[in-house]
Amino acid sequence: MLKNYFKIALRNLKKHKFYAFINILGLSVGVAVCMIISLFVINELSYDTGFKDADRIYRVKSEIIFGGNHWNMVLAPAPLAAALPENFPEIESAVHFRTRGSYLVKRVDENIKEQDVVWASKDFFKVFEIPMIEGNPDRVLAEPNTMAISESAAKKYFPNEAALGQSLILDNNQNFRITGVYEDIPKNSHFHFDFLLSAEGLGEAQRVAWLSNNFQTYFKLRENAGPDELVAKLPSLIKTNVEPEIRQVFGDGSTLETLISNGGKFEFDIQPLLDIHLKSDLMGEFEPNFNITYIYLFVAVALFILVIACINFMNLSTARSANRAKEVGIRKVMGSFRSHLIRQFLMESILLSCISFLIAMPLVSLLLPFFNELAGRELAVPFFHSGFYGILLLGAIGTGLMAGIYPAFFLSGFKPISILKGKVSMGMKSGLIRSSLVVFQFTVSIILIIATISVFNQLNYIQNKKIGFNKEQIITIDDMYALGAQVETFKREVLANSMMESGTITGFLPVSNTWRSDTPWWAEGKDPKQSENLVSLQNWTVDYDYISTLGMNIVAGRDFSIQYPSDSNAVILNETAVKNFGFDGDPIGKKIFMMSDSEELDLEDLQGRTVIGVVENFHFESLKENIGPVMIFPDKKPSGIASFRFHSSDTEQVITFIESKWKELAPGQPFTYSFLDDRFGNMYASEIRLGRVFATFAAFAIIIACLGLFALTAFTAEQRTKEIGIRKVLGSSVRSIVFLLSKEFTKLVVLAFLIASPIAWWAMNLWLEDYQFKIQLGWQVFLSAGVFAAVIALLTISFQSIKAATSNPVNSLKSE
């Protein structure tokens, strides 16, 4: 019987090649897209699962409100890692990390710039039990000036020889002995380090201060220990260790309670390791994480695209019911049960689904590199995984059942008497469910189109918004410390070229992944012992050409000038800082003091810094954040990054010239450059990827929906061939016939637009809530999406409609 079902199914597919082709093409594309998204989702959900006992590892996070600022961050005090297992027996071990940017690494002569470098405490391998290739994990980071390196780093610097016991030189002056080599950290981890430097080599002040939050802290719970009970104990740890330092700074009467009563906050909480990649976006993350909301969204999109493809099969199967009606009637008269017919029709849909899955596989291989580039991942089809083909088979059967279940019951439900009397309804008018499914297809497509337009509009807004500085035509050169005493010489010789306009040297730039330093200050005349008088703000040390090179706007006072020796103790504030200090009247000439100075007994002897200017607010973090307070003051020995504004249109010539000067003054040191506008754009790389992915999904959804619409239009025109012929004989124009065939489908697209618009408006406003600076969703966005969908649908419909309208009526009526 099964063999018979298979033969009939194959015969029907051969008989109706056009509709089989439309169904298989749409379903193949839908399955391919669904498989790619599934690979992506599985990869994202697998982050950090490669670590042993990952379910028992947690990270500490901090929430601090102080000095007018509110921080939610992964950074915590250095002593916390040692204090956790000492104070809480349920904690097995703990480790902390300290990042300090990139390092120049060399074995003998040639430096290589390395990004994946971190300082780590000695219990790293007790928390993260990464297999060791060389060395003892219990002793590997126990001494200062020692390091562990990854297997990849060992092969890179010590090819064909053992790395254990050898040394590497960092930043030309720090010698580290290698005490361990570990297996590479899995790619699907939220951090990646090739060099672990022993935190025992950090300064004592950095390791004992409880009010300084610079370290990421992780710990492993003992088996069967409860995280909730631990969280309840953390406030006592803060009171025991943080409160004495608060008293030291603010006076003996200061407590955590007084800090809280003045609107402050100092709290610790914990995050499961397995939640970090998808549920954390805090200050101080090692790498950009993904968002669990996007996972839900991508899963929904994958299912919707697959459902859209299945709807094509449902619609064509039910629309062509008249063609199968006599077959059903005769089979029933000859004794077939309804269950036999249902199995027959399901066999056809499963066969079609299996063919689609087979075609989808090469499509996935073809599209996956493109998707990897869009999403910034390295996904691969698991062809050699034992369970992969079993999952494919189940997916093919499941998809076939989903697509065929409704047509099977619909077609098998025909009554033989009605069929043989010719009372089977045909065409679109008899298909309320069919119309509803078309509306659903275009509703999903229009939502994706609106989402794509909205994401790109927000990105365009970000790129063109007035951000308080001019990011164009600025080239940045990293690692100025590699020049040693030649920094000013390098700047002077570069600026001597006529292509250059101005230049500045500092690590503090208004883009991510550059230096940051945050310290509380207070204004002259206010008591620093009262925490409400402190303003926590960014402290940026720059050279005298910083403001002019970056094109910032001084709104009050003046810029720094070498003509004024007193400017060595001057400061320029941004507008937010001026507001937070609450100066009485004009801020120019007022003095501010740093909190650490308040430890002096005689506050009257403090020199402080004098405000000489106010700079217009500028964005220095993502537009998701409000503009925080910033103070800028001169640095006697600037370092970090050189930024040069150039006016030449020949960018390659500019790069070549600067590189030649670099090689003259820093031979053997790597030359690393970028452009400030690119650095700014990198802050929104995830949004750019999201926009491209949405655009791709929207394109696939609309293509699959239009395939179904194309086939339905063709079938409707086929069923109304004689009607069209009669209308033409009676004088109907081609335009009127095209309108007749198109209007019903056009109404469905318009209805889909009316349903999609409020859903898309709600969803995109929810997405935009993450941004402090954002677009307003105007009616133009929705109209553009609706018009685009309507035009695509009309073009699809018109092809078949015009073909039917221009056919010779003699051919359709000659048999009458």
- Residue 730: Cβ-neighbour burial (10 angstroms; 0-12, 13-18, 19+): exposed
Report pLDDT for 811: 60
Alpha-carbon distance 417 to 427, whole Å? 21
Are residues 273 and 94 in contact, defined by beta-carbon separation less than 8 angstroms?
A: no
Residue from 124, 145, 144 nearest 136 by CA: 124
Q: Which of 95-104, 206-215, 537-546 has the lowest mean pLDDT?
A: 206-215
Distances (CA, A) of 264 to 24, 252, 323, 678: 63, 18, 75, 37
- 400-427 burial, b at 16+ Cβ within 10 Å, e below that, comes to bebbbbbbbebbbebebeebeeeebebb
Region 145-160: mean pLDDT is 95
Look up the pTM and report it.
0.83
**What six digits make up the tokens of 64?**
């601090």
Residue 769 has a pLDDT of: 86
* pLDDT-derived band at 430, boundaries 50, 70, 90: very low
Q: Which of 346-360, 386-400, 538-552 reaches the highest mean pLDDT?
A: 538-552
Give the pLDDT band (50/70/90) at residue 422. Answer: low
Structure tokens at 742: 């198109």
Q: Which residue has the higher pLDDT, 642 or 638?
A: 642
**Amino acid letter, residue 256:** L
Crossing angle of helices 779-805 and 685-719, rounded to 10°: 30
Residue 601 has pLDDT above 50, yes or no: no
Mean pLDDT for 487-505 is 95
Asked if 83 contacts 237 with a C-beta cutoff of 8 angstroms, the reply is yes
Question: Under a CB-based contact definition with an 8 Å cutoff, are residues 617 and 575 in contact?
Answer: yes
Does 419 score more than 60 pLDDT?
Answer: no
What is the pLDDT of the chain when averaged over all its residues? 85
d(CA 606, CA 417): 104
Q: At residue 128, what are phi and psi to the nearest 5 degrees? A: -105, 95
Bridge-based pairing of strands 630-634 and 673-675 is unpaired
**What's the whole-number mean pLDDT along residues 636-641?**
88
Tell me which residue of 451, 299, 374 sits closest to 689, measured CA to CA: 374
- Which pLDDT score is estimated for 602? 44
What is the spatial distance between Cα 660 and Cα 658, in angstroms, rounded to a whole number?
A: 5
pLDDT score for 427: 40
SS3 of 72, please? strand
pLDDT at residue 271 tops 90:
yes
Instruction: Report how far apart, in Å, the C-alpha atoms of 241 and of each of 87, 90, 232, 470, 531 are.
Output: 11, 20, 16, 45, 18
pLDDT of residue 2: 59
pLDDT in tens, 163-213: 999 999 998 888 999 999 999 999 999 999 999 999 988 875 466 788 888
CB 60 within 8 A of CB 268: yes
How far is it, in rounded angstroms, from Cα 265 to Cα 257?
Answer: 9
**End-to-end distance of the chain based on CA atoms, in angstroms?**
41
Distance from CA of residue 68 to its chain's centroid? 29
Q: What percent of the chain has pLDDT over 70?
A: 86
pLDDT at 411: 65
Mean of pLDDT values over 640-668:
92
- What per-residue confidence (pLDDT) applies to 417? 63
Greater confidence, 808 or 559?
Answer: 559
